[in-house]
Structure 1
């Protein structure tokens, strides 16, 4: 009998203990029972705030990077524009200089020495001495894509490059003017569309590029 009573008491105690445990974690009929949810909420909120802070820092870093890229692009564009202006200004300062084969000074200069001198002074670039070798430099440019400062190359016979000039102007109509040291009148401005130079034009090269300038100045 005593054993049965003890078993019954143990059973009842266990039942109410289990019921109490379950009631701590059950929400039923809109009645909230005592739980540890308060502590869980605090922990989750802390993690969430930390995550947001990290996200904000990442976004801020991305924004700073984008701003730096934009700023660098603008600086390179300005540097490129200034360099082209310097090249043309230096080239135009030679206008009227007489032509002399093999000449390298303002008292007399040939076409390739003219280009070599202008780019050396205005852009700090060391180009080859003769036009044929200068034509191997830079990036090929289609005639329709020519810009101020590009080099235009010509051939007087059998496709061999024998003359070079610097694009000075591209009109809205697409007319191209270039400055060069010509045998007839020395340093002068001619049109790529005239009857003499038009048929002799071979191709063009772009020597001054924005990424090239950023490398040269670092």
Structure 2
């Protein structure tokens, strides 16, 4: 008889634990931040556990499909450096340079393997100088304004991006510093993305 009572008690405790675990799981998935992360994870191809800044992914999502326009800075058209500038101003409350080379001059260089979401990724496309910039999202994905397709998400491991990848960068951590364009650039340099 004691064995039956003990077995019944263990089954009851087990059932309670399973019920509680299922309730906790339902509550966790109903959390708006978790739902947003799951959604952006699927849209952007970045693992849910790699998504550290929902505001970053929300901002990028809102701009996806915006057409490319050299010198543009609105949803009517934007270029790569203005897109990364908009990300930093709106997500991180930081101003960075106005073209890709200015931006590179205002960051601490980061190895590709050490990139974190929000870091900048720089490319030298058919040039000896930096000509393109994007914002790293995680899992080798980055958001950028491509001249061919506008604001989009690409993979650093794609042959094209792998070929032209130059370096990553993270803005200096001095919170009071506002990063600006280099004043010594000539007019030709100011027209770069």
Q: How far, CA to CA, are the matches of 2:166 and 2:65 in structure 1? A: 26
Partner of 1:93: 62
- Taking structure 2 as the reference length, the TM-score comes to 0.61
What per-residue deviation string (whole Å, max 9, x for no partner) do you get for residues 71-109 of structure 1?
Answer: xxxxxxxxxxx9943233212210010111111101100
In the alignment, which of 104, 115, 131 is matched to residue 135 of structure 1? Answer: 104
What per-residue deviation string (whole Å, max 9, x for no partner) do you get for residues 16-54 of structure 1?
Answer: xxxxxxxxxxxxxxxxxxxxxxxxxxxxxxxxxxxxxxx
Residue 150 of structure 1 contacts residue 167 of structure 1 at CA under 8 Å; is this kept in 2?
yes
Q: How far, CA to CA, are the matches of 1:154 and 1:100 in structure 2? A: 18
Larger Rg: 1
What per-residue deviation string (whole Å, max 9, x for no partner) do you get for residues 111-159 of structure 1?
Answer: 0000111111111111111111101112111111111111000011232
Residue 78 of structure 2 contacts residue 145 of structure 2 at CA under 8 Å; is this kept in 1?
yes
Calculate the aligned-residue CA RMSD, in Å. 2.2
Partner of 1:201: 165
Q: How far, CA to CA, are the matches of 1:83 and 1:128 in structure 2? A: 24
Equivalence map 1:11-26=2 (5 Å): none
Name the SS of the counterpart of 1:157 in structure 2.
coil
Residue 141 of structure 1 contacts residue 204 of structure 1 at CA under 8 Å; is this kept in 2?
yes
Residue 100 of structure 2 contacts residue 130 of structure 2 at CA under 8 Å; is this kept in 1?
yes
Q: How far, CA to CA, are the matches of 1:147 and 1:208 in structure 2? A: 14
Q: How far, CA to CA, are the matches of 1:204 and 1:122 in structure 2? A: 19
Is 1:159 aligned with 2:159? no
Partner of 1:191: 155
CA-CA distance at 1:199 after TM superposition = 0.6
Is 1:103 aligned with 2:109? no
Is 1:126 aligned with 2:95? yes
Name segments (4+ residues, structure 1) moved above 6 Å.
none
- Taking structure 1 as the reference length, the TM-score comes to 0.54
